[in-house]
């Protein structure tokens, strides 16, 4: 019995009202997330190109939901349960022990995607079933960079687990290497990166933890009319301009990341959604390093990071 059959069986046994799972996109080899009713369970599919995180979708669905979750997705679900945004009893989680996902952009450089019919992982190779024949690519060359540092490949919370549990690791070597650069080099690097940011806010829209109904950068914060009293104006603090330039973008990204301190689950959706391919995960991982090394906090703790009242340093 292969992986997909096992997932289908587990979903059938869940008696949930809705199913959130990956469905093969037409004319493209990748999967997208869909909300299905229980009798549509045969549509589902799963492959190393099932990239997205279903946690954000779950917040919009009422009633009992069955969901297919990889390691990082289950981290996000658990974090949202911790923060009171989801209810555990409403969820049936089919956890998948994840071997890593493919970076769609890297794969597109290897092969014309419209010719690919099927993708599967075989040992250390990614096997692409093309219209005419087969192509093998070493998995390490197309794997999402984020998956190389994955700390939780096995779901941390699940009802049914599919696949063998896998060990995660904690590796901050790339951050440490970057920290060894001089201050000017670091500043120039980040300014050259943030210069390219177009402030589309896709990183915010796609992040499972950015669920605020009104974000600090939303224009509704600035709804000021000629009739507004000074008191009303004062209650609309303008934290950040809408201008797109390297420095405002720097501030936007620093603030965005600060809101994820001790919460970021490391699914890498921000980087995947970014049209300019900015290294956003690097900032998140730096904060994770601070949270782990300076504050001694572990993401697996039941208490949220900011609620822990211990004082560090002098």
Partner 1 sequence: MKIVTFACNWCSYAGADLAGVSRLKYPEDVRIVRVMCSGMVNPAWILRAFRQGADGVVITGCHPGDCHYMVGNYYAKKRYLLLKELMKFVGFEDERLKLLWASASEGKKFAEEMDSFKKLIEQLGEQKQLRWTP
CA distance 209 to 190: 24
Q: What count of other Cβ atoms lies within 10 Å of the Cβ of residue 251? A: 13
Q: How far is the CB of 268 from partner 1 (least distance, A)?
A: 19
Q: How far is the CB of 239 from partner 1 (least distance, A)?
A: 4
Q: How far is the CB of 267 from partner 1 (least distance, A)?
A: 20
Q: Which of residues 157-216 bind partner 1 (CB under 8 A)?
A: 178-179, 183-190, 216
Which residues fall within 8 angstroms of residue 285, CB to CB, at 6 or more apart? Answer: 149, 172, 174, 175, 266
Which is closer to partner 1, CB of 187 or CB of 211?
187
Alpha helix locations (H) across 223-299?
A: 230-234, 246-258, 269-273, 280-293
Q: Is 294 helix (H, G, I), strand (E, B) or coil?
A: coil
- Asked whether position 312 contacts partner 1 by CB under 8 A, the answer is yes
Q: How far is the CB of 187 from partner 1 (least distance, A)?
A: 3
Q: How far is the CB of 221 from partner 1 (least distance, A)?
A: 11
CA distance 236 to 244: 21
Q: What are phi and psi of 196, to 5 degrees?
A: -80, -15
Which is closer to partner 1, CB of 3 or CB of 248?
248
Q: Which of residues 218-257 bind partner 1 (CB under 8 A)?
A: 239-240, 247-248, 250-251, 254-255, 257
Q: Which of 23, 287, 292, 304 binds partner 1 (CB under 8 A)?
A: 287
Which is closer to partner 1, CB of 200 or CB of 258?
258
Which is closer to partner 1, CB of 30 or CB of 263?
263
Evaluated on CA atoms 64, 70, 73, 79, the torsion sign reads: positive
Cα 37 to Cα 13, 65, 92, 95, 293, distances in angstroms: 14, 10, 14, 19, 45
CA distance 8 to 2: 10
Run of H or E including 108: helix 104-110
Which is closer to partner 1, CB of 24 or CB of 263?
263
Cα 137 to Cα 102, 148, 234, distances in angstroms: 11, 17, 58
- Asked whether position 13 contacts partner 1 by CB under 8 A, the answer is no
Q: Which of 130, 223, 258, 303 binds partner 1 (CB under 8 A)?
A: 258
- Asked whether position 286 contacts partner 1 by CB under 8 A, the answer is yes
Q: How far is the CB of 308 from partner 1 (least distance, A)?
A: 9
Cα 161 to Cα 22, 96, 153, 267, distances in angstroms: 17, 6, 12, 19
Query: Tokens 């289908």 label which residue?
Result: 8
- Asked whether position 57 contacts partner 1 by CB under 8 A, the answer is no
Which is closer to partner 1, CB of 148 or CB of 251?
251
- Asked whether position 131 contacts partner 1 by CB under 8 A, the answer is no
Which is closer to partner 1, CB of 25 or CB of 308?
308
Q: Which of residues 20-49 bind partner 1 (CB under 8 A)?
A: none
Binding site for partner 1 (CB under 8 A): 178-179, 183-190, 216, 239-240, 247-248, 250-251, 254-255, 257-258, 261, 283, 286-287, 290-291, 294-295, 306, 309-313
């Amino acid at each position: 019995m292969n992986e997909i059959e096992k997932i289908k069986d587990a979903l059938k046994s869940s008696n949930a009202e809705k199913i959130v799972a990956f469905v093969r996109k037409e004319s493209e080899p990748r999967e997208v997330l869909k909300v299905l009713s229980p009798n549509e369970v045969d549509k589902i599919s799963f492959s190393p190109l099932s990239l997205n995180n279903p946690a954000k979708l779950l917040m919009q669905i009422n009633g009992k939901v069955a969901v297919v979750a990889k390691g990082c997705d289950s981290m996000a679900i658990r974090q949202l349960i911790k923060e009171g945004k989801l209810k555990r009893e409403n969820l049936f989680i089919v956890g998948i022990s994840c071997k890593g996902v493919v970076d769609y952009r890297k794969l597109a450089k290897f092969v014309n995607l419209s010719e690919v019919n099927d993708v599967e992982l075989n040992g250390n190779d990614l096997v692409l079933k093309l219209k005419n024949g087969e192509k093998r690519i070493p998995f390490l060359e197309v794997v999402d960079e984020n998956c190389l540092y994955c700390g939780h490949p096995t779901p941390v919370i699940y009802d049914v687990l599919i696949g063998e549990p896998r060990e995660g690791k904690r590796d901050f070597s790339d951050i440490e290497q970057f920290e060894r650069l001089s201050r000017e080099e670091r500043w120039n690097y980040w300014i050259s990166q943030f210069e390219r940011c177009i402030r589309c806010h896709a990183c915010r829209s796609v992040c499972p933890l950015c669920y605020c109904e009104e974000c600090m950068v939303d224009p509704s914060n600035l709804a000021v009319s000629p009739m507004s009293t000074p008191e009303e104006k004062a209650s609309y603090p303008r934290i950040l301009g809408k201008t797109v330039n390297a420095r405002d973008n720097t501030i936007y990204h620093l603030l965005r990341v600060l809101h994820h301190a001790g919460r970021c689950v490391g699914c890498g959706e921000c980087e995947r959604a970014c049209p300019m391919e900015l290294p956003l995960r690097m900032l998140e991982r730096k904060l994770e390093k601070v949270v782990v090394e300076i504050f001694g906090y572990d993401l697996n703790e039941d208490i949220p990071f900011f609620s822990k009242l211990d004082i560090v340093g002098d």
